[in-house]
Structure 1
Amino acid sequence: MNSRTVITEIAAAGALIGSYPLDWLVKKGEPYFCAPSSEPVILIHGFGGSRANLLALGAYLRLAGFDNVSHFEYPRWQSISDSAAQLGRIAEEKSGGKGVHLIGHSLGGTVARRYAAGAPKAAVRSLVTLGSPYSYGQWSPTEIGIFGDDDPIVPAPVEELVHRDAFARIVTLHEVGHLALIFHPEALRIIGTELRANRAPVSNAAAQ
């Protein structure tokens, strides 16, 4: 890990540690001042994290026009299968038939991938993972996997070895570690572009 990455990782770690007291701002079932107009976006934190870790990402998505952002929180030691099943129940409850966008950091992305792999057709509109553990032979053909080339926790995959249906696309960011992925401008740009490309069409009734 080079010195630039070390500095950005320390800054990201400080931001994450400082986010914990803000957890009360992103409670489950957060109220809306009016009915959300966009399809749901669900953010899933990494191992040992909390909803507050993705507060900045949620704020960015709201500014990008997605006003139906919520957070999925899972117990630290719960199995990936159980967490994925729990996420699925929440996704189905929130989707209203529109489908959901899933964005997961680290283990949260693995949980999202597990749910998406067995989800009903069109239930998941977008799947974006940030530094999430993977396998070269996995099946996740709609997933955008974003990695840092200086990540000591989840090294970026060697693309030549990845099965063709393991990801839809792999993006490896230069001089980026594990935690800084959450805040990296290019990662945010990719997320915004992907969600806009896959958002639900606006019905004539809703547009009037």
Structure 2
Amino acid sequence: MNTRTVITEIAAAGALIGSYPVDWLLKRGEPYFCEPSSEPVILLHGFGGSRSNLLALGAYIRLVGFDNVSYFEYPRWQTLGDSAAQLGRVVEEKSGGSGVHLIGHSLGGTVARRYAVAAPRRAVRSLITLGSPYSYAQWSPREVGIFGDDDPIVPAPIEALTTSAAFARIVTLHNVGHLALIFHPEALRIIGTELRVNRAAESSAVSQ
């Protein structure tokens, strides 16, 4: 890692540590003062993390017009298959037939991908992963994968080695490590754009 990346990773780690007491102070669950107008956006944390790590990302997503945000938490040592099946039950419960947007950091993105690969048609409107473990031969043709070029945990893929259906798009951000991806302005911009592009037609009409 270069010096700039080290500094941003330390700052991101501090923000993540600070998120735990903030989440503790907040009421569990996602309180709504009115009926949500958008289709669900489900955020998935990385290995050993919790929903508290994604509170800032959730706040940003609300600011760009998606007010139906929730968090999927899974046991640290649960298998990918079991976590994906558990996610499927949550999606079925929350989607209401409109489909959901899935955004996962690190292992959370891998769980989201595992579910999306076998998900019913139209169940997943967006699949966005941030520094998530991958396979060069995977089949995830709708996935937007965002990586840091200075990530020591999940190195950015070499695009020439990936199959055409491994990702819809790969974005590699410069001087970015693993944790800072959650807060990076360009990553946030891409997330906001993808959510809007894949928004349900009825939700678009409501927001205009």
Interval of TM-score (by shorter of Structure 1 and Structure 2): over 0.9
- For the residue of structure 2 that corresponds to 1:76, the secondary structure is coil
Q: Distance in 2 between matches of 1:207 and 1:19?
A: 30
Query: Is the 1:26–1:51 contact (alpha carbons within 8 Å) kept by the matching residues of 2?
Result: no
Question: Match for residue 192 of structure 2?
Answer: 192
Aligned-residue RMSD, C-alpha: 1.6
Q: 1:206 to 1:5 in 2, by over 3 A?
A: closer
For 1:154 and 1:204, the matched residues in 2 are separated by 35
1:15 aligns with 2:15: yes
Q: Match of 1:112, SS? A: helix
Change (3 A) 1:169 1:33: same
Structure 2 CA distance for aligned equivalents of residues 205 and 59 of structure 1: 22
1:62 matched to which residue of 2? Answer: 62
Identical amino acids, percent of aligned pairs: 82
CA distance in 2, matches of 1:118, 1:207: 31
Cα pair 1:145 1:167 within 8 Å, conserved: yes
Secondary structure, aligned partner of 1:102 = strand
Deviations 1:146-200 (A, max 9, x none): 0000000000000000011000000000000000000000000000000000000
> Residues of 2 paired with 1:188 and 1:205: CA distance?
23
User: Contact 1:129–1:145 (CA<8 Å) still a contact in 2?
Assistant: yes
Partner amino acid for 1:73?
Answer: E
Q: Does 1:73 align with 2:94?
A: no
Opposite residue 186 of structure 2, the aligned amino acid is E
Equivalenced residues, count: 207
Which residue of 1 is the match for residue 110 of structure 2? Answer: 110
What is the CA deviation profile of residues 95-124 of structure 1, one whole-angstrom value per residue up to 9, with x for unaligned ones?
000000000000000000000000000000
Q: Which residue of 1 aligns with 2:123?
A: 123
1:27 aligns with 2:28: yes
Which runs of no fewer than 5 residues in structure 1 stay unpaired? none
Match of 2:181 in 1: 181
- CA shift, 1:126, in A, is 0.1
5 Å-filtered alignment, 1:148-159, equals: 148-159=148-159
TM-score by length of 2: 0.96
1:85 counterpart letter in structure 2: A
Q: How far apart in 2 are the matches of 1:202 and 1:122?
A: 15
The Cα shift of 1:27 comes to 2.4
| Contact 1:41–1:68 under 8 Å retained in 2 | yes
